[in-house]
């Protein structure tokens, strides 16, 4: 059975998955980039950014796993861009330039309809206005037997967790305290929602845990 | 300068320092004991419980450090016992039997006065009814140049953090999700309160971080 997976989602020790005040200048919120320091040196990240080299090891193993067997993506609108409300025009095409690192269908949750955008490298952004279940159905169909990766951000993951729709979630807990921002865990009882920790390993840069939905 | 230190304080990945529903049967709240699994196998914990053996290594190094150079303790009332409100009688003398593992003056924060109790092994419980600053002053005096260790629980540590009185805090982040309980971080902006992460090392059982008050 194909799965809905969260992969390489970074959180701080105080539970924040992004810093406060996301903007064009701070796509990850203020201080949010420190959450991701574990991934920048990895070979997988180098490859994603079109560079050679990069480190192998625990961090890279997890980073690489997040791209293996993925047939489609889902993301919240904040992950796609800083624009809120109606789409002013069609000029914003994501944070990633002409050739985004998805290379498959990517479904963006939004309340505001917009035409599909075909990008270079095989990424096609679809805009889904009828909710998280509809996005999952369309992504599963597009993935055609492969898994669907749920990117983020925090609010999107929380919605899918609360609906019990995520099958597997890999978190990379970074050794930083953000103090403020978007908290992944606040008011969320993961054990009660059926999630059990099934993996746990630490590198010098992050503690990796995998939560798996039971039953 | 002697310090106020939090040592070996265990929190879950979702930020809880104790499970919900603390009681006589569940002194650490439901599920709370899973937070402490990193410490049980250590030599320091074995020694504390009057047993030989136990493991050395990262976890033991941190556990041992929490007892080195300590001249007095402070703890909240919930750490001392499950009784709430007035002390019914003098029969409750803590969770630890006749010979508690403190072996020095231990100051218990409470709203309800009670006579000092001298225990075996050098532990003396004092009951402080005039607040966290007064408790710290009395503990510093009793420690006589050594450090004061702040035990817990969560609410007590949060009060001392918010007042900026903790100099150093070692957290052992256990790879568990409690889902509910007492959250150490909720609404607390540690960077803004002047705390910076100064150490970070992981064992297979816990991620150890030390936060140090700046300035």
CB atoms within 10 A of CB A196: 13
Structure confidence at residue B24 as a pLDDT band (50, 70, 90): confident
**Mean residue pLDDT across chain B:** 95
Best of A17, A58, A200, A214 to substitute, by most chain B Cβ atoms within 10 angstroms, is A200
A161 found inside a domain: yes
ipTM of predicted complex: 0.89
Q: Which domain holds residue B170?
A: 4-15+43-82+98-213
10 Å CB burial of residue B124 (0-12, 13-18, 19+) is middle
Q: How high is the pLDDT of residue B93?
A: 95
A114 found inside a domain = no
- C-alpha distance from B171 to closest chain A C-alpha (Å): 10
Contacts of B31 in chain A (CB under 8 A): 191
Cβ atoms within 10 Å of B53's Cβ, excluding its own: 8
Chain B residues touching A192 at Cβ < 8 A: 179-180
* DSSP H helical ranges for chain A: 43-48, 58-65, 77-80, 132-143, 154-162
Convert the pLDDT of each residue in B31-71 to its tens digit. 899 999 999 999 999 998 889 999 999 999 999 999 999 99
Chain A nearest C-alpha distance from B91 (Å):
37
Q: What is the pLDDT of residues A83-103, one digit of tens each?
A: 889 998 889 999 999 999 999
Quick one: what percent of chain B has pLDDT higher than 90?
Answer: 88
CB neighbour list of residue B56: distance below 8 Å, 6 or more residues apart: B42, B43
Distance, in Å, from the CA atom of B43 to the CA atom of A62, rounded to the nearest integer, reads 33
pLDDT of residue B84: 87
The pLDDT assigned to A111 comes to 96
Residue B150 maps to a domain: yes
Q: Distance between CA B51 and CA B187 in Å, rounded?
A: 40
Whether pLDDT at B111 is above 90 = yes
Flag whether A132 is in a domain. no
Q: Are A93 and A83 in contact (CB under 8 A)?
A: no
With respect to residue B136, please indicate whether it lies within any of the assigned structural domains: yes
Checking if the pLDDT of B215 tops 80, the result is no
Query: What is the domain count for chain B?
Result: 1
In a domain, B87, yes or no: no
Set of chain A residues whose Cβ sits within 8 Å of the Cβ of B185: 13-15, 177
pLDDT per residue over A177-187, tens digit each? 999 999 999 99
Region B81-95 average pLDDT: 90
| A137 located within any domain | no
Question: Three-state SS for A54?
Answer: coil
Q: What is the pLDDT of residue B51?
A: 93
What are the pLDDT digits (tens) for A27-75? 888 889 999 999 999 999 999 888 999 999 999 999 999 999 999 999 9
What letter does residue A179 receive in the DSSP assignment? S
In a domain, B140, yes or no: yes
CATH at B53: 3.40.430.10
């Amino acid at each position: 059975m194909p799965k809905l997976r969260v992969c390489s989602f970074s959180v701080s020790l105080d539970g924040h998955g992004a810093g406060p005040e996301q903007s064009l200048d701070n796509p990850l919120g203020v201080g949010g980039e420190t959450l991701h320091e574990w991934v920048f040196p990895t070979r997988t990240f180098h490859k994603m950014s079109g560079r050679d080299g990069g480190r192998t090891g625990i961090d890279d193993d997890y980073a690489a796993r997040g791209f293996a067997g993925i047939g489609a993506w889902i993301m919240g609108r904040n992950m796609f861009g800083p624009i809120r409300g109606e789409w002013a025009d069609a000029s914003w095409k994501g944070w990633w330039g002409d050739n985004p690192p998805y290379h498959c269908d990517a479904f963006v949750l939004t309340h505001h309809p917009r035409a599909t955008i075909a990008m270079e490298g095989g990424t096609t952004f679809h805009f889904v206005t009828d909710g998280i279940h509809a996005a999952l159905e369309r992504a599963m169909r597009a993935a055609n037997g492969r898994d669907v990766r749920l990117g983020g951000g925090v609010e999107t993951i929380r919605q899918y967790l609360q609906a019990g729709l995520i099958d597997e979630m890999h978190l990379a807990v970074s050794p930083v305290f953000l103090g403020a921002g978007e908290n992944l865990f606040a008011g969320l009882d993961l054990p009660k929602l059926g999630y059990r920790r099934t993996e746990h390993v630490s590198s010098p840069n992050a503690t990796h845990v995998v939560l798996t939905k039971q039953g």
